[in-house]
Structure 1
Amino acid sequence: MRFLAREHPGASGRWTRGNRKGSSMSHASTVAVLGAGALGAAMAMRLGESGHEVRLWNRTEERARAVAERAAGVTAVSAVADAVSGASVVLTVLRDGDAVAEVMSEAIGRLDNDAVWVQASTVGPRNASALAGLAREHGVAYLDAPVSGSTAPARQGKLVWLVAGPEDVLARARPLLDDLGSSVLHVGTGVEGNAVKLAVNAWMAASTVAMSDVLALCDTLGVDHATFVRVLEAGPLAMPYELQKVRVMDDAAYAPGFAVQLALKDIELAAAAAAPSALLQVVRDRLEATVAAGHDTDDLAAVDYLRKPPS
């Protein structure tokens, strides 16, 4: 483990932005990862293994230190300003728009002139627009770039990037995105990334709730779950993500992946951004009930707990 202690500002008492030259990042670069939750930690470890120098910051410092202790190439940093100073890419992987705005308002003045801010948190289009405005105000290159995928794909470099922003900025950050993802989809030039992400996560949550309910139907009809899965796999209705969830649900093994509380946050963002939907209301009710049952940090598959709680 490496740990970088906090530095102090210069004689003027003010932080200043760096002036490192160059218009593109090399494959091996200095990366600041802000947020050491499940996804941020997995990204940091993958980047360290890929040869990048990773500075990992988290509001709860111990969490960043715990990741750095078991990750090659990752340094735990106590001050967010120190994490971003000199970094080619600043990757924000935080819970919501308010958290990103608070952290980056403190840190953005320390970014180098040629740094790229890759905003990977799912914050919704409205918050993404505000964050893009903050970047413009400070002359910082910005990508609205949430991902489809959770911790396991991040560790394997198989995330799907949903990137919005200028093509030249995307080209500068592309080597890092490629190290973390199997696909980089350029979906627009503004903040379309977060719009697409809300739609994707709404589909993911709705389909998971639907799978749980269909398993309940199987139980009522006396249909073996393995038979049900076999039939789906034989035709065009198979959905690999949900077929995987069948095993997880049957085992009641909800190891952390995409947490129920994060799915609920994203459904609420979707509801706030669009006309009310009866389907999304049902999904939200199920997620809220799952959180109330104590499964807030468990994988989304825990919505099935309510189908057949353990005796």
Structure 2
Amino acid sequence: MSEESAIVDVLGEPWFAETIDLAPDAEGPVVTTLVGRRPAEGEAPTDRAVLHVHGFSDYFFHTEFGEWWAERGHTMYGLDLRKYGRSMRPHQSPAYVADLEEYFADLDAAWERITRRDGHRHVVLSGHSTGGLVVALWADARRPPELAGLLLNSPWLDLQGPPMLRSAPVGFALEQLGRRRPMAQLGREVKGFYGRSLHRDHDGEWDFDVRWKPLDSLPIRFGWIRAVRQGHARVQAGLRVEAPVLVLSSDRSSYPKELDERVFSTDIVLDVRQIRRWSTAIGRHVTYIAVPGAVHDVVLSRRPARARAYEAIEQWLTGFVLEPTH
């Protein structure tokens, strides 16, 4: 990461952040933020890197994930997409885009800096939840030669809930609402169990800024839902990502009505059956692993489950990315 353009990040040393100006949208100026881990003294230079993209109502704070990759010879980067986390600005509607391809400019800018400027020739692209959907679409559209692998952590590949929500009439209604009333908010009940299960000030072990990752989520707008459903349709029609793909999820989903053990050992956000179903639509070399006891963000699970997740990543990395067979 360029010494001139980056400042010490809120995560502290050795993490640095670089604000990147993008073309304005309908709400005004837009930025994206590339966070990077500066190699420690004595660490050998590497041409390998990882770029991680967060999910909805989220931002990059995954220092343990970054250190794990650094121990395996990869420079770690995280990207706070426009209108999220470090990239959020007062004049903006948090998290809102009308088309997921708006994020392609964020990824293009980050990728250019990681590969051309910083000299990384083999890059694993990682995405969680909505970020997993976005990076899969970008990897399929751009097909950069430096893409060494695609790691998807509980990617959002279909609309969860009863089958009726995925019916043609409901799809048509969402399309029309998204087109005619894009900024209208979707009414929903959010109990905050997931955020509380993660944050160290509540029932978890992780430290994150609840202004950027609220315990009760950011608002969802119909224009954004329309954009996501269009992204789902593109995935389900079939992508052609050539790099090896690893998809991780919990082995179970649940929808608890109180803060019980299921909150800490299942995915309470997405339906893992849908993740399993649509994973093979992403590319021709896809590995899917269901991690027992994992939560929605698999690498934020309790220690035994995340140890299993890291073991799966290690096997995929050594078997298909560092020594590719595709």
Q: Structure 1-normalised TM-score? A: 0.32
Q: Structure 2-normalised TM-score? A: 0.31
Instruction: Please state which structure has a larger fraction of its residues in helix.
Output: 1
Give 1 or 2 for the bigger CA radius of gyration.
1
Instruction: Please state which structure has a larger fraction of its residues in strand.
Output: 2
